[in-house]
Amino acid sequence: MANAIFDLDSYTVLANPTGVLNLPSVGSENPALRHVGGFVVFGPDGSPVAYRDDSAPRLRADFEIWSDDLKQEQLLHVQPRERDGRTSYAVHAGDDPVGELWPPPSRGLLAKPWSVHDAGGTTLGTLGDTKWSHRLKRGLGRAEAESLQLVGVADPRPVFFLRQADPLRYMLRVMIPEDSAWDRRLVLACALVMPAVEGFTAFLAGDRRL
């Protein structure tokens, strides 16, 4: 975990819908490098520190996370798994397994939070809405912002994922407690996978919030 993003206690995830061709722009003024539908992570100083490849977001939920938009260093690979009729998301750093993200077995306003496991299958904590009323508003299509929290078994201090209202692009603020026990690689995977799968953004076909 030598990459700079894993040393940060806060960062912001930005993304632009597929109909917007100029947001965000990362690494170059060349329009060819402005990846439509991409997720880009910015540190507190405004510099890009990670990028999620969405070259075919409507065809697959197979997420590659890179240190830059030129794909010079892969940070994580998140790949869906089908088991017993359920889909989970296995997180790898190179050939090393990091953990697994499990969505709830059923959707809907009363759906349980996601569960986060280590590479051995041990439950590390849960990821879900801070309040049921937030999920209700989201399910009704009235949520202007999101408030999610990642709560650990070993460290109950929550990691917050706060989506700010923006009419043009998706913006998610990640706030990690100092000296948090969470593996920062799993935190980054949660920030870049769970919102898309839950339907917070328009980068996967269909609205699966419910």
pLDDT in tens, 51-61: 886 654 444 56
Q: Which of 4-8, 58-62, 158-162 has the lowest mean pLDDT?
A: 58-62
For residue 205, being part of any structural domain is answered with no
Number of domains in the chain: 1
Percent of all residues in the chain with a pLDDT value above 70, rounded to a whole number: 68
Whichever domain contains 71, its CATH number is 2.40.160
Instruction: Give the whole-angstrom CA distance, residue 25 versus residue 40.
Output: 9
Please state the pTM of the whole predicted model: 0.81
Cβ contacts of residue 138 below 8 Å, gap of 6+?
129, 146, 200, 209
Judge whether 191 and 78 are in contact, CB under 8 Å: no
For residue 187, being part of any structural domain is answered with yes
Give 97's strand partners: 92
Backbone dihedral angles phi then psi of residue 5, each to the nearest 5 degrees? -65, -30
- Residue range of the domain that includes 124: 4-198
Q: Are strands 159-163 and 146-152 parallel, antiparallel or unpaired?
A: antiparallel
Using CB atoms within 10 Å of the CB of residue 46, give its burial: 0 to 12 exposed, 13 to 18 middle, 19+ buried. exposed
For residue 208, being part of any structural domain is answered with no
Query: What does the pLDDT read at residue 192?
Result: 86
Instruction: Give the whole-angstrom CA distance, residue 148 versus residue 35.
Output: 27
